[in-house]
Each structure stands twice: as C-alpha cells, then as structure tokens.
Amino acid sequence: MKKILMLTTGGDIAGEHTDTGLVPVYTGEQLVSMVPELREYCELECKDIMQLDGTNVQPEDWITIAEEVYDAQEAYDGVIITHGTDTMAYSACAVSLMVQNLQKPVIFTGAQIAMVDPDTDGKKNLLDAVHAAVSGIPGVYVVFGGRIIRGIRAQKMYTRALDAFHSINAGDAGYVQDGEVFLNQSVPTPVGEPVLDTRLEPKVVQLKLLPGIEPKQLESMLGMGYYGIILEAFGCGGIPNQNRNLLPCLKRAKQFGVAVLVATQCKYGNVDLGVYDVNVQAAREGAMSVYDMSIEAAAVKLMWVLGHTKKLDEVKKMMETCYVGEFTEKRHA
C-alpha cells in the first residue's frame, strides 16, 4: 500500500462544540479513528502541525505547511492537509507557488460540518482525499464535495453548502465517485525535482471599489507601509477616472514604489486593461492586470512575488509569468 502523510491544521473538520462556538481540538489520529476505513486504502500517518480555525491561518502558517509538504516528498507517496474551509484556497495557492515541480499528490480537504456531527461531510471528504492521494496525480489540489480542483484555481463559493469549492476560470481537474478517481483534463507533467521557495511579503492590502469611493481612501493606503495593493475593480478592470478620479492615486503609488494590481469583482472572466478608456489609462499609470486569476491566487502570488523583489518592473514581469497555471496564458497573449 502507498504511504500517505496527513498533516492536520484544524478547521471545522476537527471542531468541537463549545459555549463560544465550534473550536478545532481533534488530532489527526482522532479524526482517523472516526473513519477507520481510511487505513484500508493506504498506510496513513498523521502529523498535527497546528490547530487553527481557518480564519486564523496567517501567511507565516503557509510557510510552515509548505515546508512540511516539501520535507515529506521523499518518504511519502502523497500528502493530505486537513484545513479550515474559509482560507483553504489561500493556503492551497500558497503551497502551489512555494513548492513547485511536485511529483506527488498534495490534497487539501476539510469539512463544512464538524466530524463529530452525525451529518458531517468530513468523512466522505477524507475518504475522497485518500483516494485522490493514492491515485498519484502530481500537484496541489482541493478535494471537496466530490470535486478535484487545482489548488491554484480553487475558491470557496458558499458559506455553508457542502459543494463549497469551485474552480475559477478553469474546469475541475476531476472528481471522485464511489472511491474511483476520474480526471477531466490532462495533468501537467512536473519538470525537474520539487523546489521549495517560501519567500513572502505579506504587506499587501485589498480594496473593493464602490460607486462613490473617494480617492483619499486609496491615497491613505500609500503611507501605511504596504508594498502591494489589489483593487477589486468594475467589470474587466474599470478604474474611475472622472468624478472621484483614482488615476492620480495610481501615479502616486508608482512614485511610492507600491505595486497595484487590478482584479475584477466578477467571479468569472478575465481582467483586460486594453479595452476601455477606464482600463487603458489605469494601465498607463502602472496598474497591472491579474488576468483570470482568482482573487486568492492574485493576492498570494503578489505576496510571493514581493518576497522576491520590490522593483516594480520586476514585479510586473513576475506577475505576467505563469508559474503553476494560475492564469490562462492564451488570454494574456
């Protein structure tokens, strides 16, 4: 049987009901004891690396997870990571970028309903994660609600629904049905050995534009020590440039050496800064497109890129480079 390592980080799946709500308390071995059939499919070892609600997972924790994944590559045939659903997509994106050229499966999963509850989805998700890990598909994936989603493309779409995660601007990689793994697309072939690169700059902020937003709101962020700002703009990247004109703020951001990314408030589709006047002028002031990346992938990638360089021309070049399938390259052409 294949040897699989399960790293536990907390989340709903490990939760217990308390007078302050659900709190993660259960260890990996305790979770496995609730689904003993897991060990019928693989030799499963557990390692508890943190016990956090997904909301409390920080960028520094991504580094810990990535290091554990990298260290496990030689001794194990795959890794499962149990994680809180609220920030699972961020962590999956981070591991995708920090541990590239993975030749073995790294599977994120969790639950919307705690394992101790009779109607939990955690048992099925764990079983599906084991089947995906044993299948040998290389790379980082979120396995949840029967879906297999590339980690760099995953996004939580529903607060409580069991089919919580969808793949953004890319089809699901596959699905698990009755213990069998079916792939919908060809799996990228890793080139070379796994590489660990955990350089990260977490001083990034995100601002959602609203009709009536004042330039001073963006201006105020320029002196707060952030190296990157992500603007959730309108449509395919529209930035207001008449009443309440934000273009002078973009110009000042460039002078401050602050990278500005333009994302969209739409769930699907790509940002194109070459279509409308409200796009083109923003690009001329140094704004950069996230193309069709999810907002999670864009944020994590910007932190990762800024961990490598703060020079805006180099940041732009790295943001325009597709490292792990985070955007659709043909749309970038």
Q: What is the mean pLDDT of each run of 10 residues along the chain (333 residues)?
A: 98 98 98 98 98 98 98 98 98 98 98 98 98 97 98 98 97 97 86 95 98 96 96 97 97 97 96 97 98 98 98 98 93 43
Helix (H, G, I), strand (E, B) or coil at 92: helix
Cα-Cα-Cα-Cα torsion 271, 276, 279, 280, nearest 10 degrees, comes to 120
Give the predicted TM-score (pTM) of the model.
0.97
85 is catalytic: yes
Q: Residue 215: its pLDDT value, please?
A: 97
Catalytic option among 8, 9, 82, 85: 85
CA 2 from chain centre, in angstroms, equals 27
Which contacts qualify for 116-121: CB closer than 8 Å, 24 or more apart? 116/15, 116/16, 116/17, 116/26, 116/34, 120/13, 121/145, 121/162
Q: Report the first-to-last Cα separation within the chain, whole angstroms.
A: 45
Strand order in 147-150's β-sheet? 43-52, 3-10, 78-82, 105-109, 139-144, 147-150, 174-177, 180-183
Burial class (CB in 10 A: 0-12, 13-18, 19+), 30: middle
Domains in the chain and their CATH numbers?
3-196 (3.40.50.1170), 204-332 (3.40.50.40)
Give the residue among 309, 333, 307, 306 at the shortest CA–CA distance from 322: 333
Q: Residue 329: its pLDDT value, please?
A: 86
Q: Residue 187: its pLDDT value, please?
A: 81
For residues 79 and 105, the answer to whether their CB atoms sit within 8 Å is yes
For residues 124 and 105, the answer to whether their CB atoms sit within 8 Å is no
For residues 12 and 111, the answer to whether their CB atoms sit within 8 Å is yes
Give the residue among 131, 132, 171, 138 at the shortest CA–CA distance from 154: 171
